[in-house]
Each structure stands twice: as C-alpha cells, then as structure tokens.
C-alpha cells in the first residue's frame, strides 16, 4: 500500500525527564503503530517498516537512502546479531533472548539516540522488576510496535483515544496519569508488573505475552520486532 506522507502533525515526544525531545512525527507512520488497547498496526514485513523508516528519517534528518543502504539498518553504531554468533562475554545468549524462535518475517528500523536511551531504560526496569533479559526483549519489542521506542505525548486529533508514552498506555484504562505514563521508568514498570501477572509468560511466544498485556487489535504485530529487540538487549545490557 502506498503511504501518503504529505500530511504531518506536531507531536510531543518526551524523555524520562519530561523534556520535549522530538517536535515532528509523521501521521502516516503513526498510523502504522499498534496503539493499545485499540490498535492500528501495519502488516508484518520482510524489511524495515516503510512508514516507520519515513517517520524516523523525518524526525532525525536521516535520508531514507542512507537508512536503507545495502538493506542494512542504521542503529547508532549497534551491530546486528545472528542466531549462530557467539555472544560477548557476560552477555545473554541468543537462545536465552529468543527461546522459542522468531515468528514470521522480521522488521527493523534505524534508531537515534533518544530511542537507544529509551531501550536502555526498558532494560534497566526489566532488571529491577525481575523479568530479566527475556522480559526486556518482550518490553522493547512491544515498544517498537507501539511507539517505535519514542516516548510520545498526546497526538491531538490523531491520538488513539488517550494512549501515550513508550507503550501507548491509556489513563482511562487505569495505567496512570498522562504525566506518569510519559515517564519511561513508570510506564516500563507498569508494563512489566502486568507481564508478571500473566501466568507462564516466560514460556509463551513473545507476541502472546505482549498481547496479553496490551490487548491489541493486531496481536501478531509484536512478533516482527523480536530480533531487533534481542539485538538491543544483548548489546545494551
């Protein structure tokens, strides 16, 4: 489907100190996010999510040709792992991070410093809440689908109900106040505490565990981010 990028809207993206971090995000790309609990998700693809790449390019000033050069993602110097590569000393193995194997084709997007910092925060909170490296993979994959790892504020008329933050949590559904759910530490803690209440989440495929928490209208969309999430956890933890 051809995506129309002729319309853009101002969107507030906040860092963990609640400062404005991003001033413009593509509405067409945001239409490809799964915004829990009512989702609007793009289909699983074999490469970078076209709408997401365009939004990131616009926000960061990166050219799409640079982001897609040789079909390799640009990730702030992070490398792309492989199922057979030996993890660095002290890092979790691929089998620990993806114990059930990936489901379907995988997507990737380039990441800027703000997204990397949000991924670090999710990993730190995963450790604090006791869900470990596998939980961190689930959390990052969920945030990649929901907000592309941006801490989004309210998007005005284009917002999905009152969904905000890294995980697009809704105050009206009891996730917290808008100020709380746009605090990355709070929102990640809320996500992982809910995940821990899912019986047997450790033994579930990623998309099942994420969907049980998020209740998305597109439950299988989370699966496409598992490899990129695992790479981030392995390299940032």
Residues 6+ apart with CB under 8 A from 158: 9, 27, 30
Report pLDDT for 86. 67
* pLDDT one-digit tens code per residue, 33-77: 433 333 333 333 333 334 444 444 444 444 433 444 444 444 455
Alpha-carbon gap, residue 19 to 11, rounded angstroms: 13
Alpha-carbon gap, residue 93 to 59, rounded angstroms: 33
Report pLDDT for 60. 43
Q: Could you tell me what percent of the chain has a pLDDT over 90?
A: 55
What DSSP state is assigned to residue 86?
Answer: P
190-207 as b/e: b if 16+ CB within 10 A:
bbbebbeeeeebeebbbb
Alpha-carbon gap, residue 169 to 151, rounded angstroms: 11
Report pLDDT for 41. 33
Q: Which residue has the higher pLDDT, 108 or 12?
A: 108
Quote the distance between the C-alpha of residue 168 and its chain's center. 10
Report pLDDT for 155. 84
Q: What is the CA radius of gyration of the chain?
A: 16
Domain residue limits, the chain: 8-70+103-236
Q: Which residue has the higher pLDDT, 33 or 142?
A: 142
Rounded mean pLDDT, 225-229: 98
Q: Which residue has the higher pLDDT, 157 or 225?
A: 225
Report pLDDT for 79. 54
For residue 102, which of 8, 227, 212, 193 has the smallest C-alpha distance? 227
Give me the chain's average pLDDT, please: 75
* pLDDT one-digit tens code per residue, 88-124: 777 899 999 999 999 999 999 999 999 999 999 999 9
- Residue 6: pLDDT above 80? no
Report pLDDT for 237. 83
Report pLDDT for 87. 67
20 DSSP β-pair partners:
14
Q: Which residue has the higher pLDDT, 8 or 230?
A: 230
pTM: 0.69
For residue 49, which of 70, 66, 64 has the smallest C-alpha distance? 64
pLDDT-derived band at 25 (thresholds 50, 70, 90) equals very low
Residue 174 in tokens: 């009891």
- Residue 151: pLDDT above 90? yes
- Residue 211: pLDDT above 80? yes
Report pLDDT for 216. 86
């Amino acid at each position: 489907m051809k995506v129309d990028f002729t319309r853009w809207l101002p969107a507030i993206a906040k860092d963990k100190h609640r400062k404005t971090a991003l001033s413009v995000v593509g509405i067409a790309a945001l239409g490809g996010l799964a915004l829990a609990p009512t989702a609007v998700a793009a289909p699983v693809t074999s490469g970078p999510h076209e709408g997401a790449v365009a939004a990131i390019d616009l926000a960061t000033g990166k050219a799409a040709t640079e982001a897609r050069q040789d079909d390799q993602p640009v990730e702030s110097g992070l490398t792309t792992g492989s199922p057979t590569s030996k993890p660095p000393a002290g890092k979790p193995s691929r089998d620990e991070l993806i114990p059930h194997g990936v489901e379907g084709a995988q997507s990737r997007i380039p990441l800027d410093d703000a997204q990397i910092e949000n991924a670090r925060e999710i990993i730190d909170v995963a450790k604090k809440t006791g869900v470990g490296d596998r939980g961190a993979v689930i959390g990052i994959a969920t945030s990649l689908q929901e907000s592309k790892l941006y801490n989004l504020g309210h998007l005005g008329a284009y917002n999905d109900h009152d969904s905000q933050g890294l995980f697009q949590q809704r105050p009206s559904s009891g996730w917290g106040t808008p100020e709380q759910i746009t605090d990355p530490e709070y929102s990640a803690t809320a996500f992982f505490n809910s995940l821990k209440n899912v019986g047997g989440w450790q033994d579930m495929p990623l998309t099942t565990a994420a969907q049980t928490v998020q209740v998305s209208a597109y439950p299988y969309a989370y699966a496409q981010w598992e490899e990129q999430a695992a790479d981030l956890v392995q390299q940032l933890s």
